[in-house]
Amino acid sequence: MTEVVVEEVESPMKITVVENENSRSKQNPKKRVGEEDDETLASQQNATKKTKGCKSMLMVDFLKEHNELDDEELEKWENEDDDEDELENEDQEEENNGTIKNKTRGPTQCLKIHGRQFEEREEIILDDDGEPVGPTEKVLTGLSNFPGTIAKSSAFCPLIYTNFKGIVKNDEKDEIWGYVQNLRKKNIVNRAKQRFNHRMGPKNFATIRKKLREKKGNGEDATQAEMFIETRQCRKGKKNEETETAISKLQEAIQNPSQPPDQVFRSLFGKEKSGKIRCYGKTATPSMLKKKEEIATIKKQYEGEISSMKEKMEAHESLTQKKMEAYESLLKCVMMQQNPNLSEDDVNNMMGQALGIESVIHHSSTSTYIPEKGSN
């Protein structure tokens, strides 16, 4: 009897709820349609939202659990490392569905680089200063992003957790947040002091210097003035008047070298800070640049001496050749005066035989007159 009563009580309640919902929709159809649209949009967003395949736990616990995964779950885990390749397609699908997806870090996580095998590593080309300059800009961008994904502070974010949520202690999170806030304030102050913005994105100075060196064609390195012009020129958007004024002065100094461009650069921007030098990258120092300039000066000096020695040798060879030709002409005249019956071809053959050189002159006759010894 109890079960029958429950069924009779439950069924009217369900019917009543449905009727009330229908009556509400009839009374206010616009509101109902809007609610349905919101529910549909929310369901689409939930459907497209990715679920994390990694729980917040210690790395040791994760490895223990990961060893017990079946093939299906393992495949799901590995597929999440391919997010970088699917970003563009997913953005297009979200636009087609009428939903907007927030921008994600994507390439800065370097998922592809972390997933490479040892044999698949990219070769990095370094310049004379040890700065990476190749092989491509895409590889260099990955190189600049990759160290940030593995270099973590053991005091703040130890690598024993699978993700940030694994850090349970609130004190540690507060310490990290305080560190980030202090760094933010410091960067705001430094940013306000910066007058000339760098406009080359993630490209390093070594790559730009290499490009300018190749553009010159004479093997000379770009000066500070040339590097400043190349890296601070505004190609898009609003131009900075102060930057444009500095660039015009440097360009004038390069075109009319009454004063060295680097000297004009120092007069505009002041002295270098201790241990640093502008427009040369993070690894360059004044002492390194000074040594490099000394080596370049010595190299240029030796090249000048070698060039001078080559010119002297060429002049000496030319003079020697002229003397030999004069001696040969004089000898021919003497031989023809002493032997009037000899022709010029006969004299040339005789001199060729004496010097061990075969004559290449064609004669009308095969006979050759050779005077006897002692004849006048």
Per-position DSSP letters for 276-289, written without gaps between them = --TTS-SS--HHHH
pLDDT, residue 314, reads: 92
Whether the pLDDT of residue 281 is over 50: the answer is yes
Is the pLDDT at 241 greater than 60, yes or no? yes
CB 224 within 8 A of CB 279: yes
Give the end-to-end CA distance of the chain in Å, rounded to a whole number. 162
pLDDT confidence of residue 186: 92
CA distance 41 to 33: 12
Half-sphere exposure of 114 (CA within 13 A, CB side): 17
8-state DSSP, 161: B
Kindly report, residue by residue over 165-179, the tens digit of the pLDDT: 777 666 677 888 888
Alpha-carbon distance 35 to 41, whole Å?
10
pLDDT mean across residues, the chain: 70
The rounded Cα 317 to chain-centroid distance in angstroms is 50
For residues 254 and 223, what is the distance between their CA atoms, to the nearest angstrom?
A: 10
Q: How many whole angstroms separate alpha carbon 140 and alpha carbon 366?
A: 77
Structure confidence at residue 101 (pLDDT):
58
189 Cβ contact list (under 8 Å, min separation 6): none
Judged against a pLDDT cut of 90, whether residue 93 lies above it is answered with no
128 confidence band (pLDDT: 50, 70, 90): confident
How crowded is residue 207: how many other Cβ atoms within 10 Å of its Cβ? 19
Q: What band does 372 get if pLDDT is binned at 50, 70 and 90?
A: low
Mean pLDDT, rounded, for 130-140: 82
Sequence-distant (≥ 6) Cβ neighbours of residue 76 within 8 angstroms: 53
Q: Which two tokens stand for residue 263?
A: 């000297």
Confidence of residue 313 (pLDDT cuts 50, 70, 90): very high
Distance CA 352, CA 333 (A): 16
Mapped onto helix, strand or coil, the DSSP state of residue 239 is: coil
pLDDT the model gives residue 317: 92
Structure confidence at residue 2 (pLDDT): 40
CA dihedral defined by 302, 306, 308, 312, rounded to 10 degrees? Answer: 150
Contact 77, 52 (CB under 8 A): no
pLDDT given for residue 185 in this prediction: 93
pLDDT tens-digit profile of 38-79? 555 555 555 444 545 567 776 667 766 766 544 554 454 445
Residue 350 pLDDT > 90: no
pLDDT value of position 89? 52
Q: Which residues pair with 132 in a beta bridge?
A: 126
* Chain centroid to CA 331: 70
124 secondary structure, DSSP code:
-
Residue 108 has pLDDT above 80, yes or no: no
pLDDT at 337 over 90: no
User: CA distances (Å), 254 to each of 259, 272, 288, in order?
Assistant: 9, 21, 24
- Domains of the chain, by residue range, sit at 1-49, 205-284, 308-355
The residue that leads in pLDDT, 130 or 298, is 298
Instruction: Say which residues have a Cβ less than 8 Å from residue 104's Cβ, sequence separation at least 6.
Output: 83, 87
Q: Of 295, 275, 293, 298, nearest to 285 (Cα)?
A: 275
